[in-house]
Structures are given as C-alpha cells and as structure tokens.
Chain A
Amino acid sequence: MNIYRHEMRQNLGATAGWTLALIAIAALYISIFPSIAGNEQISDVYRNFPEAFKKTFNISEATLSAFAAFYALVLNLVLLTGAVQAMNLGTGIVSKEGRLKTADFLLTRPVSRGSVLRQKLLTVVTALLLTDLVFLAVDWLLIQAMISDSFRFRTFAVSSLSLVFIQAFFATFGFLLGAALPRVKRVVAVSLPAVFGFYIIALFDTVIGEKVRFLTPFKFFDVNRLTAGGGYEAATVVYLAFLVAAAVIAGFAVYQRKDIHTT
C-alpha cells in the first residue's frame, strides 16, 4: 500500500482544487436562480417529458419544482468539470511513470505490475469519492441555504449520483488510455479533446433526439429527468458497468504485457 499512500499524498492538492472548482460552479449558478425563478416556464419542461415517463414517476406539473429543472443545468456543467477531473486523474496517474521516466525505478521494486496498477486505481477511486462526497454535501447545504423551492433530498441524491457514474466512465477510460498509449507526454492533450468531444456530441443529442444514447456518457442518462424525480434505466447502468469493467480489465491486460522503455 506504499504506492497508494505516495499517490494519495501526491494527488491531495489537485483533488482539493477540483472540489473547490465544483463547489464554485455550483454556488455561482445556484445563486442566480432566485432572480430568474419568476420567468421559469415549468409547463415547457413538463411538456418535454413523455406521457409514459410522467406516469411511471408520478410527475405532474404541480409536483415538479422549477428548481429541479434549473438544477439539471447546474448538474450538466458539474458533470463536464467532474469528467475533466476524472479523465485527467485516470490518464495521468497511469502514464505518470512513463512521463517522469520513473517506470524503471518503480517496476524494478519487488512489486507486481498488477499491484502497481491496483494501488493507482484505488487512488483514483478514493480521490474521486472524496471529491464527490465533499462536493455533494456542500452542494446540498448551498441549495438549502439559497433556494426556497422544494427540492427533495432523494431527488437531489439520485440525480447527483450521475456525477459518480460519469466520473467512473472517464476515469476508467483515461486509465485504459494511460496504460495503452506508448507515452502520454501531456495529459491535458488527451483528456480535454476526449471530454469535450463527448460533451459536444451530447449537446446535439439533447436537442435532437435519443438515437445515439449509447455513444456518449453525457447522454447515458437524461439529467432533466433525473432532477424531475426519475431514476436510472437498468439498461444504461448495466451498459456503463460493462464499459467500466471492460476498460479496467483491458487496462490491466495491456499494462501487464507492455514493454517498458525509458527513452
């Protein structure tokens, strides 16, 4: 567990930074809600949901809070930022030894490559869960303090879980890339195009349809429905779990067989 401790110490600062960034975004957006709440047209939001959905989740115009719709927007940006964090972390932590040329050092210690990767993966999981726990706690407190609209805790918790899901995807996707690419010189040059690529695909999807729902993690679940009290569809959760597992397994497999070169 020494690698885990080492990596945790190394990543604590960045994790704190990202957590603060997420909180700042949420605070920035939540603070404007009271002033635009009056113009909100809930009926439009309501009309966008299919009949079957409304029935299943027992949503009527009366139960739908205006803030719920607004919170979907906040969550969208939080997901984007959280995705960048997760992808940076996943890609960075695995490719780090190649970048710093310390792979020779680390892999000549009496420790298997599997163990190296397990400890690094555990660091990723810990750092992201820490971020999410702290962020969501503060986020909920902010909502309580600033928003008078009713917003059920259950809805908040269920919808906010999407942050964990999306980070799981990007962290493991980055983990795989970090293990598979011969050398990642700059993490951001991998993570930013990847995350924004998926994000942009998703934006067009939100507008136009659900055809390519399985193409981008930003569309694995509809944030609007989640904040309106909806749940996750079993199919997408299973699909996400499959992708995450596949990325982790492939990452381990590739890393085990990889030739390590310093120069």
Chain B
Amino acid sequence: MGIIETRGLTKYYGGTRGIEDLSLSVEDGEILGFIGPNGAGKSTTIRLLLSLIYPTGGSATIFGKDVIRHGPEIKRDIGYLPSEVFYYDYMRVGDFLDYSASFYRKDCSGRIKELSGLLKLDLDKKIDDLSYGNRKKVGIVQGLLHDPKLIMLDEPTGGLDPLMQKNFYELLRRENQAGKTIFFSSHILSEVQKICHRVAIVKEGKLVNIESMENLIRNNYKRVELMTREKVGKELFDLPGVSNLKLDDGHVSFLYKGDVNTIAGKIASLDLVDYTVEEPELEEIFLHYYQ
C-alpha cells in the first residue's frame, strides 16, 4: 500500500478537463517527481489530494485513508508548499508560524527556530513587508514545522535564488533520509532530475508514464556521437532502435534504444577518432512524450 494511492481520479471544471482517470501510487520514503507542462493537471491533482477541491470521479487515499472522509486527520502529517504563497499580511512572521503550529498537537517551536535559522528568515518582520523570496521561505517553514510524514510541493522553487534552492534541496534530502515521503510537482526537469527517485509524467490530464529515474534514463535512450576518419554510409545504422540519425562527413550522431551489444559491434567496426555515449537529459525524454 502506497502512501498516496489514486484510483481513476478525475476532475472536470464544468466542461473543462482538469485530470482524467489518474491512477498513481507513491511509495513510502520515496521522492516522486510529478512532471508535465503548465495545464497538464499537476496542481489539480495536488488540490484533490488535499481535498481543497472535490473529484468528479475516482478516489484517492493517503496513509490508506480516504482523502475526503479523513481529510483533517490525514493533514496532521502532511506539509504542503504551494507554488504561490499567500499568508495573512497583517501578521508578523513569528506570530504566523506560531499560529500555523497551533493546528498541530505538538510543540513545534524547536523546528521553527531551526528551519528559520537555516533559511535565514527574520521572525519579527511583517509578512506584508516581505519580498517574494522571503515569503516563499515562510512557506517552506510552515510546511515543515510540524515534521510531516508526507511533504507535497507544487512547483516550489520559483522565487528562490540559486543558493537558497540548493539549501532547499539539501533540506528535502535530509527530510527524505529521515524517512519522509516527498511528492514534488514541477515543470522544471533539471529540478526533478536532481532529487527524485521516480518520475511520473502527466500530459493533458493523463498519466503517460511512471518509472524510476534510473530506468527512465538508462532503459530508454542513449545519445551516441561518433567521429570517424572516413565517411560512413547511412545503411550501416539502419537498425531498429536508432532514431534522429544525423550524418555529416566524419560526424555521426543518433539516439539508440535497444541491446547495447548490437550497437557496440557496429561501432567497433569503424575507424574512430572519438566517440561518446551519453545518457540523454530528462528534457529529451520528456520531449519524446510530448511529440
């Protein structure tokens, strides 16, 4: 049983599609990247899981409990950081975090101090006076201060400078090592690549693939580039699994998917100047799903 399980989850806004028949399972202790372009249904999924909106069809459970029926109970152990953060402008950061902590039946003051120290957040400032990046930090602290078992992040890094992003990933990795499950939605693939164990790809409201990061990259494509002393004929690479073949004098490049021995044999028969075989960037795999 996964930490999050959705079965045929569907949401329509009037006639417009939010998500359709989405079935997904997030394992205990993993970091799952949830990727897709804008409008694919990432936020809809997260909002359904948090019962901020209600499904048109299907169901979802978190910790084995129905998200609608047991919403409040489940949320004791969820931390959520939305893409855009809005908090009570009239409050001071410290007061707001205390208010946030007052919803959980535990003492969170240590965590607040620790997290805001780590992120260099000034607790005495009014939320109204904070910059966008600092508001985001408030968001991170309020999402983690109660030591949640499941952390849900909806495109979380916008507005954070590179240094803060690094700190943030570090923080997430630490939480994950402490056994927390993380559900991470993003359209920035490098972000997901850096941190996630598995990746779920959504397209137009539907789940198109879910695979471990390793599998996704290894078992899919290799980018092969060769530099040869002599011109190579096109027919040599007329094999199943070869795509995007480009021949240019002594330069050959293509994507390959299949048995590596086959292609290694072919390459060995050539007189090479140089060669590289690379794992493709996630971007390239991603584009493949969107062609």
Contact = CB atoms under 8 A, between A and B. Distances in A.
B78 A108 contact: yes
A260 interface: yes
A218 B74 CA distance: 46
A206 to B, nearest CB: 41
Interface string A65-102: 00000000000000000000000000000000000111
B99 A2 contact: yes
Given A100-B86, A100-B89, A102-B88, A108 B75 contact: yes
B251 to A, nearest CB: 49
A110 B75 contact: yes
Contacts of B116: none
B167 interface: no
Contact of A115 (B51, B72, B80): B72
B182 to A, nearest CB: 16
Interface in A13-33: none
A110 B73 contact: yes
A15 to B, nearest CB: 16
Interface stretch (B100-108, B157-165, B239-247): B100-108
B75 A259 contact: no
B71 A112 contact: yes
B76 A260 contact: no
Interface string B81-114: 0101011111000000001101110000000000
Contacts of A257: 54
B84 A263 contact: yes
B272 interface: no
Contacts, number: 60
A107 B52 contact: yes
B203 interface: no
Instruction: Give the interface centre of A6, A107, A109 by most chain B CB atoms within 10 Å.
Output: A109
Contact of B53 (A110, A111, A259, A263): A259
B40 interface: no
Contacts of B88: 100, 102
Given A2-B102, A109-B100, A260 B78 contact: no
Contact of A259 (B52, B90, B103, B104): B52
A189 B144 CA distance: 38
A221 to B, nearest CB: 38
B72 A260 contact: no
B72 A111 contact: yes
Interface string B102-131: 111000000000000000000000000000
Nearest to A111: B72
B155 to A, nearest CB: 13
A21 B78 CA distance: 45
B50 interface: yes
Interface residues of A, number: 22
Given A108-B50, A110-B76, A115-B72, A102 B87 contact: yes
B102 A104 contact: no
Contact of A104 (B13, B72, B86, B89): B86
Interface residues of B, number: 28
A259 B86 CA distance: 18
Nearest to B152: A108
B47 A260 contact: yes
B39 to A, nearest CB: 13
Contacts of A261: 53
Instruction: Give the interface centre of A100, A108, A109, A115 by most chain B CB atoms within 10 Å.
Output: A108
A194 interface: no
A112 B68 CA distance: 10
Contacts of A108: 50, 52, 75, 78, 80
A105 interface: yes
B86 A110 contact: no
Contact of A105 (B53, B78, B86): B86
B253 interface: no
A187 to B, nearest CB: 15
Given A108-B78, A112-B72, A260-B47, A103 B52 contact: yes
Nearest to B75: A110
B86 A262 contact: yes
Contacts of A262: 82, 84, 86
Given A108-B78, A108-B80, A115-B72, A6 B86 contact: no
Given A103-B52, A109-B100, 20 more contacts: A2-B99, A2-B103, A10-B90, A100-B87, A101-B84, A102-B86, A104-B52, A105-B87, A108-B52, A108-B78, A108-B80, A109-B75, A109-B103, A110-B76, A112-B72, A115-B72, A259-B53, A261-B53, A262-B84, A263-B84
Interface of A: 2, 6, 10, 100-105, 107-112, 115, 257, 259-263
18 contacts: A2-B102, A6-B99, A102-B87, A104-B80, A104-B82, A107-B50, A108-B75, A109-B100, A110-B103, A110-B104, A111-B72, A257-B54, A259-B13, A259-B52, A260-B47, A260-B52, A260-B53, A262-B86
For the complex of A and B, list the 10 residue pairs with the smallest distance between their C-beta atoms, beginning with the closest.
Answer: A101-B86, A2-B102, A109-B103, A259-B53, A110-B76, A110-B75, A260-B52, A112-B72, A108-B80, A110-B72
